Each structure stands twice: as C-alpha cells, then as structure tokens.
Structure 1
Amino acid sequence: MQDILGLIQDPTAWVALVTLVVMEVVLGIDNLIFISILTNKLPQENRERARKIGIGLALVMRLALLGTVAWIVQLTNPLFEAFGHPFSWKDLILIAGGLFLVWKATREIHHSVDPVDHKEDMVGGAAAITFGSAITQILLLDLVFSIDSIITAVGMTEHLIIMIIAVIAAVTVMLMAATPLANFIEKNPTIVMLALGFLLMIGTTLIAEGMGFHVPKGYIYAAMAFSALVEVLNMFARNARRRKKAETTLH
C-alpha cells in the first residue's frame, strides 16, 4: 500500500502512466483494424459478441503475460545468428506475426478484387469464417502485439501496477471503439481496402523489425493518418457529387 501511495505522489510515475497508456492505445489501432475486418466476415448477429469475447480474452492474456514479465524480457536474448543478425524469440514471433498479416491482407485483397472465383466475401459472407476461427485469429495476432508492447513497456517503467493500468485502459478504449469502427468500415468499401493496405504495411514492418531493421513507428502512423485523411476527403467529394446529382434529377 505504501508503494502505491508513493507512486500516486510521484510525478514521474504519472508521466510514465500517461505515456504508456497513449502508446498502448496507438499500438492497439493495428489490432483493432484487424479485428474489425475479421469480425465483419461473420453473420451480423455474431459480430459484436465476437469482438467483445476476442478483446476480453486479449485483456486476460495481456494481464497473464504481465505476470511473467521476467520471462517475457528473456525473449529478447539471442537464440542463433543468421545473415549477420542475432535472432531471439521476440524476433521470430514478430516475423511470424508479420507473415500472417501479409498473407491475410493479401488474401482478402485478392478476394475483394476478384470475388467471383471464391466462396469467401471480404465484408461478410455468412460462411466466410467460423466464430471459433475468428476468435483464434484475434488471439494469435494479439499475442504478437502483446509481447512487443509489453517488452516496450518494461523499457519505460519498472512498476508493474503502471503497466497493468495502462493495459486495462488501452483494452477498454479498444472495446468501446471496436463496433463503431467495424460499422464504419463495413459501410465504406473503399475504407476496407485502405485498412487492408494498412495491415500489409504493418505486417511488412513486423517482418522488418524481426529481421533487425528498426522502422520508427511515427513514420508508420503518420502515413496511415495521411492516407486516412485523403480517403475522408474523397468520401466528402463523393457525397457532394451524389447530392448534386440528386438535386439535378429533382429539377
């Protein structure tokens, strides 16, 4: 209790907490885009339940991983060296997660461009995926992002309680934003393609990180924000053209 009171009175601890919450929320955007696209492939009545269960289990998994911080940190220890780069378990997990994201995004883009030759539909054929498959894929990808974010968090603060509060806050934001984001993506097909492009970029970045090439996250999120802004302007332009066409038709 005295330790907690000491942290409450320590300005440095508050700065670390705010910084960590912001970082966890930003890192959660990648995961949220994937969850939105994936759950939109389920039948309408199962989508919100899948998001809540997937994100809820993700919270449980992250808190469990925080309980094994000492073991998580050891994942950065080199296992072997190849191509002049020492690979650790963290590197291998990032590469595997990146390959999965690239494969998944490429597959969805292909099905979107040429849906006739495939039984699956990008935005929601009822038979596209099963409920269990969606939950499993959400957890597998969240494992990759969780390990990366926890290792980063350990480098920012040594206080476990700060990490726990930051994780709970970030997952709460994800839970509140999941359904509105998924609905917005579903109603705007061009946003779906943009989001899949984001997943391709994120997957490539994870592979690069695993191979030892550091890519500043600021560049990634700046590119995503700029692309999203351009798409929002396109949406406004399309809506304006529709209104003008409707007015012309009436007159």
Structure 2
Amino acid sequence: MLEGLNALMSDPAAWVALATIVTMEVVLGIDNLIFISVLSNKLPEEHRVKARRIGIGLALVLRLLLLASIAWIVQLTQPVFEAFGHGFSWRDLTLVAGGLFLVWKATKEIHHTIDPRPNDDLFDTRTVGIGFAAAIGQIILLDLVFSIDSIITAVGMTDNIAIMVIAVVVAVSVMLFAATPLADFIERNPTVVMLALSFLMLIGTTLIAEGFGAHVPKGYVYAAMAFSAAVEALNILARRRREAASAPAA
C-alpha cells in the first residue's frame, strides 16, 4: 500500500491510471445509485436519507473488503463448471443472480406504478420497520453484485492497491453527494420514475448477458441511457413551459 502511494506521488502514469479508474468507478456507480434512489423513495420520507446513507456506506465497505481480498477476487473469474458451451465462474453466477433480481424488481415496481394498490403494505406506517429492513436487505444484495463487478474491473486495469482504494473512496463519495439530489429529482418528476425503472431493467438484462459470456460494451448501454435521459429532459422542459403558458396571469 505504501509503495503504491509512493508510485502515485512520483509516477505521472499512476495519476492517469487513477483518473481513469475514478471515472470508470463513478460511471459504474450510477447503476448502484439509481437502484438505491428508486428503492429509498419507496420508504416513508423520514427514513429515506438514512436508507441512502446506509446503502452507500455498505457499498464502500463491501468494495474495500473486496479490495482486501484481491487473491479471492481473482479466483472468482475462474470457471467452476461448464454449461451451454460456456464456463461459468462465481462472478458470472453472481452477475446472473443480480441481473435476475434487478429484472424482477424493476418489473414489480413498473407494475405497481401502472396499477398502484392503495393498501400496499409498503406504504403502511405500521410496517415501517419491516419495509426499512427489506429495503436495506435488497440494497445489500445489489451492492454486493455491483461491488464485485466494479472491483474486478478495477483489478483488470491496475495492480496498484493504493490507486484502487483511492478511486473507490472518491467514487463512493460522489455517490453519497449525488444520492439525495437524484432521489429528490426522481420523486418530483413521476415520469422519471418509469425511466429509472427502465434503466434498472436494462442494467439487469446486461448483467445476465455478461454472466452468460455475452459481452455488452458499457459505452453502448450508457449511451442509450444518456439519450433516453436527454429525451426525458426535453419532455420535462416542454411540460413545464406548457404549464407556465397555461397558468393564469397575475
């Protein structure tokens, strides 16, 4: 670790690697952050910030623990059995399980958004504790999936532990800073909720494909998400201008 810090102070290439990995970790953290934001918004308002902080804090802890187990992380990429002509590693199985969970969760939330049930116990104040515990449990599950994918990607880019630790801390700090503004924006704009759930569906499908050995370039996925977000931003702008134009003059 100390040698890594010395290299970071003296080697310009190390700074380039750090900037690259920080950028990559921040981008990969968007998936994690969208899930935490959507899920925390399902809780009563007084529990939302706490759930986000716990979720992002756990994401940091998991990533640091995984970094401390580099030898084990490397072994996760080794095939443990073969099926359908593809050797499945523990990483593949984790990605498939996480992707299936995301697809299930997004489908369930889309159905609830389209056909809400007034008596849904998730909104029942008598079951706040259960709802909060369930939310944290789901966040931990997806934190683990995203953390494994994130750290394995970082390990493939550098062998400097100090660079990886700094990149993870910076990326998670950005997530912590952006969590509440993102969640509040989603809450204020109902149509964005459906967009966010669609993103989760896309991310889940991508994780499943990656688990089965079909590599999907991240650039394509994030470009599609950015284009969809830009279209939604134009819709929000147009809607606000129509509302302003139809409002009675003072």
Whether 2:243 is the aligned partner of 1:236: answer no
Q: Residue 205 of structure 1: CA displacement?
A: 0.2
Aligned twin of 1:77: 78
Give the Cα separation in 2 of the matches to 1:125 and 1:197.
26
Q: 5+ unaligned residues in a row in structure 1: which ranges?
A: none
Q: Find the counterpart in structure 2 of residue 114 from structure 1.
A: 115
| C-alpha contact (below 8 Å) 1:20/1:166 kept by paired residues | yes
Whether the aligned pair in 1 keeps the contact of 2:67 and 2:151 (CA below 8 Å) is: yes
Counterpart of 1:201?
202
Identity of aligned residues (%): 68
Q: Say whether 1:217 aligns with 2:218.
A: yes
Change (3 A) 1:118 1:90: farther
Alignment of 1:69-218 (within 5 A): 69-116=70-117, 119=120, 126=125, 127=127, 130-218=131-219
Shift of 1:117: 7.5
When residues 16 and 239 of structure 1 are mapped into structure 2, their CA distance, relative to the original with a 3 A threshold, is same
Tell me which residue corresponds to 1:29: 30
Distance 1:118 1:88, change over 3 A: farther
What CA distance in whole angstroms lies between the structure 2 residues aligned with 1:222 and 1:120? 37
TM-score (norm 2): 0.94
* Number of residue-to-residue matches in the alignment: 247
TM-score (norm 1): 0.94
Offset, 1:125: 6.2
Matched residue type, 1:112: T
Q: Deviations over 1:160-188 (max 9, x none)?
A: 11100000000000001001100000010
* 4+ residue runs over 3 A deviation: 124-129
Q: Which letter maps to 1:180?
A: P
**Structure 2 residue aligned with 1:15:** 16
- The Cα shift of 1:66 comes to 0.5
AA aligned opposite 1:190: T
| Counterpart AA for 1:155 | G
Letter in 1 for 2:137: T
C-alpha separation in 2, matches of 1:144 and 1:6: 31
Change (3 A) 1:66 1:116: same
1:65 — aligned with what? 66
Checking the alignment, whether the CA contact within 8 Å between 2:76 and 2:89 is kept in structure 1 is yes
- Give, in whole Å, the separation in 2 of the partners of 1:182 and 1:125: 21
- What are the superposed Cα offsets for residues 214-243 of structure 1, whole Å, 9 maximum, x if unpaired? 000000000000000000000010011111
- In the alignment, the residues of structure 1 paired with residue 114 and residue 219 of structure 2 have an alpha-carbon distance, to the nearest angstrom, of 30
Check 1:201–1:120 CA distance in 2 against 1; reply closer, same or farther (3 A cut): farther
**Separation in 1 of the partners of 2:236 and 2:39?**
23
Structure-2 separation of matches of 1:142 and 1:208 = 19
How far off its partner does 1:133 sit?
Answer: 1.4
1:101–1:203 CA contact under 8 A, matched in 2: yes
Tell me the CA shift for residue 8 of structure 1: 1.1
Cα deviation code 1:181-228 (max 9, x no counterpart): 000000100000000000000000000000010000000000000000
Q: SS state of the match for residue 115, structure 1?
A: coil
Partner SS, residue 200 of structure 1: helix
SS of the residue aligned with 2:82?
strand
The Cα offsets for residues 77-114 of structure 1, whole Å up to 9 and x where unpaired, read as 11111111111100000000000000000000001111
